[in-house]
Every structure is written in C-alpha cells, then in structure tokens.
Structure 1
Amino acid sequence: MSRIERRVRKLVTDDEMRDAVEIVLERAEDGELKWIDVREDLTSGQWGRLIEQEILVDGEEGFELADQEATRDGLEEEDSDYTSGSDVDVPDTTSWTQYDKGALVATLLFFVGYTWGPIRDLIGNAVHLLLGPINNVLPFYAVIMVIALATGLYSTLLRAALMDMDKMSKYQERMKDIQDRRKEAKEAGDDEALDAIQEEQMEAMSDQLGMFKEQFRPMVWIMFFTIPAFLWMYWMVGFRGSDAHGTFDAIVIPIAGTVEWTTGIIGPIQIWIIWYFLCSMAFTQIIQKSLNIQMSPSTS
C-alpha cells in the first residue's frame, strides 16, 4: 500500500472527509483544482487537511492529486490497514561537513588531555589567556558560574542550529506508526501481518542510526568548546594530586561545612565538578525558556 493510499484510508474513517475526498477525486479528473471550484461543497478545514496530508499538491495553476489511483484505492473498504507500510516519509540522513569531522578529531585529542600532562598543560595555558583575567577579579565559584553560563548558552544555540527537529520528529513518528500497527496486528492475532511488520521494523533500524547522527553532530561541537574549559578547571585546581595553578579559598556548603574545592563529595567527584554541573543545568534551563527554544522533537 502506498503512502497516499494509507493517508487517504486514515482520513476517510471520518465520513465527512470521505465525502470530501470523493468530491475532490471526481473534480480532479477534469484537471487541476482551485479552492473556488470546491468551496461550495467542502469546508476550508477539509480542504486544508487534504493539502496538509499531501493528498493535494501544488500544480501549475492550482492543486492536483498527488496520486489519483492511490487516492481511489484508499476509498475502498478494507478490514484493517496495519499490514501496510508506514505512511511517514523517511528523512534523508544529515551529512557531516569537513568542519564537523575536524571538530570530532580535535575533541578526541582534547580527551587525551585528561590523562597526558603535556596536552593538559598546553590547553590549560591557552584557555588561561581568556579565563585568567576573569579569575583574577572574581572568586572561583563565580568563575565556574561564568563558564557554566557560557556553556549553557552555546550548547543551546548549537543544538537549535545543528539538530533538525523536523527530521527527529519524522524518525519518531515512523517508529510510533510501526509500533501501533504491530499492536493492532497482535490484538487481531494476524501472524502473517506480524511477520511483515517485524521485517519492516528491522529495515527501520537505520532510523536509529539517523537519529543518533542528528543528535551527535551538535554534541561534537558542544564538547569541542566545553572540554578545553573543563580541562582548564582541572588544570587550575590540580589534577589527581598534581600541582594546582591557582589559589582558592575554602567554601562552605550544606552538611559538609567548610571544604576545599578538591574535596570529594560524592565518592571521588570533587566539589567544583558538582558546582559546575548544577550551575550548567540551571542556566541551560533558564536560557531555553528565555529564548523559547525547543530541545525535543514533537510528534503529531
């Protein structure tokens, strides 16, 4: 069953939409349609739904049926439609640019800095040119807040710019459609349909890879900018017993009282790491709400 046929079948479960499809199908045999041709027989809502579902598509001067034969087949009665394929278009996978790949390679090299002193010192000294002046005028907890605010801002903007929410929605919509039809076939006890849907589900596993690439692309750039700042904080407080590159006053926190920035609060996790993540999560939520940026795909 084609995508158009399946969409028509879903629409005509509403008797009013069945009448609308029949009228459009009849009038479209003479050529393209305009709203003025059918406005006496269709409501604007019915006309809009036909366009929204891409049953009607743009023609040269008006609208035409995307597939007349499939539309006609969609009007025929059928016991169930869960055996048909998904009507959700599979989006093209986003291609990574050379800059994306370069950022990934650089990010992997940055990770080496966590265990290799020369790289850590190189990155620490480079980032200190930017953050050192801030550290000279602000207490360390405020410097961490500044870093958390910056990372929250650019991570939100990068995700909004690089992750296509429409594609993510289509991936999720397709998987949901398959799951719904699988449930219907299981309730009907249709083993043949279950086998067909299982094969379709296996073919759709590539969607998971597509979703991963959509999500991972902005994460590469976020880590590209965040890891150097994080390494700088490591470099400043002292990494695993190595010499610190700054002097810091002890702080007072609930329950633990007065502690040093390198004190392990949750196992080996030091207090400065916890403070950074708390600030980062708080600022990110505030930024997303303030800019009204949606960070999760919506499904219809």
Structure 2
Amino acid sequence: MTQAYIKEIKQGALSWIVENIHFFDMNHKVANDFRWRLKTFIELIFLTNYLIRNQADDKEVTVLTDFITERLHNEKLEEFIHFDPDGLAGLAIAGEFLTLTDHPSRASVIWELKKFTGSRFDGSLAKIPFRKMDLKYSLERAGVTSEITDFSDLYNYTAAGQNIPNTYMTDHDAYSITHTIFYITDMGCSSLTDKEYNLPSLKEKVLKFLGIYICLENLDITSELLMCSSFLNIDMERENHKPLYEAAWNKINQGRMKEGNVPGITYQHKPGLKDEQRREDVFKHCYHTTLVAAGAAHACLRAERNY
C-alpha cells in the first residue's frame, strides 16, 4: 500500500510542477524579490539534476529539462553572482545541469566558476558550516575544485555532527541535518564510512526527527528526512522502522492537495482570490514542499527496489 501511495505522490507532484512551470521563470512576477525568484529556479534545477542522475524515466523530467535549457539559453548565467554573491552556488548548480545535458554553454559557465574559485572568492563568503558544504558540493558537482574545508571536517561543526539534544533543535537545525546528509552522501550516490561519520548516531537522529515532524505535520521537513533515510540506507522495511515509514508517507498522502501539490507549513487557504491569484499564492507556499516530495518519492522507490 505504501509503495502505491509513493508512486501517486511522485506522479502528482511532477504533474503539478509541470502545470505550474511558468512560475519558476525568473522573469515571472510571481514575487517582486529577484533573489526569491532565482532561488525557486535553482531549486527546480537541483531536483532535475537529481532525477537525471538517477535515470528517472518520467515524461515530466523531459519537460523540466527542456524548460531549464530554454531559460538558461535566454539568461546570462554569470550575472547570477553579480546580483547576489550567494548566487555562486546557484551558478554551480546550473553548471552541473549543463554538464549532465552536455550543453555547449557549459564551458563558459565552468570558466566563470573557476575564475571565482581561483580568486578564492568561494572561501571568503561568510557562511555557516552546512552552507559551506552547500557551496563546496555544488562546485564539485559542476567539476570545479574548491579550497573550502573538507566535508568530514565541516561535518563536526554542523547540527548533524553535534550532540545536541532533540529538545533544543529548531527547524533550521533540522534543515541543516538533512542538507548535510544530502552533501556527504552525494545525494545517495556515495556510501559513508563510520570512520568519518558516526553513522548509528546520524541514522538515529533522522529517525527521531522523522517522528517529530510527522507529529508537527511539517511535510517539507518530513519529505527531506525521507530522502535522508534512503541516502543513509536505513532499512525502512524493518519491523521497528516500517510503522514510522508508513506514517510519514500516509501523512504526505493525506496532506497533498487535489492538484497533486504538497502544501508547505505556511500555506493557508485564502478565500476570494481569483484563479491566477490563487495559483500564484498556492505556488509560493507549496512549490518547495512539492519539489522535495517528488525527490523523496523517487529516492524511496529506488531504495525499495534495492532491498
């Protein structure tokens, strides 16, 4: 039953993303803040990169790939950084996409990234440890070497590497843990060793947080934790893990909207909005959770096949 839920969630999420793909265009006025519009576009690319790398054969992935390719063709990518220094990570994520799709403009983007890393600009940005991981990971996925500290060293300073009691953890700490796991596992493509990372402790954190965020009905963090359970090779079919796993997917399945999108914690129905206004409002509060739910569904379906 759980696997049927997961397939429906993935299909519904991808279909909704395609139906609302115009909102991911950086030039769409869904929001006045350029940095926010850039963020949504880059997050779409991040998901698409993951799906391409993991041979997702869904027809929607082709639509996403074509859309991103067309938008990148019409935008001057190098300006990402000049609008916002933090755009370096976004440019690197776009560079990975251009590499995965063997796009001819890849060379100029990689040259731009190397120019910034060559001047040690990447190391001069004031970032907390897991955000340094974020930048280092994005650059490495684009094929660009960075002098940012190694993951295993940065890990000790992240929420994942610290022995902080759950009662003192915040949502920000939860996101720090999930993203740290994304990077150190290369989105599930690399196995970790207990020598560098305390895997039993890390797995325990994921399982405990999963229970907490199911109860809080935070479908965004729940979805990210489900991805992490897959990336850490936690056997969610084990007798003591299966009820938690099924509860998480049931909560997402029950919470998703009829169009297939999965609402974020900030979503509230606003009566009286006209059709396009409603779609814009729903997009703002649901796009990220829907992206993550699609990625989590793909990751867990792959994991189930491997057990």
TM-score, scaled relative to structure 2: 0.24
TM-score when scaled to structure 1? Answer: 0.24
Give the number of the structure whose alpha-carbon radius of gyration is greater. Answer: 1
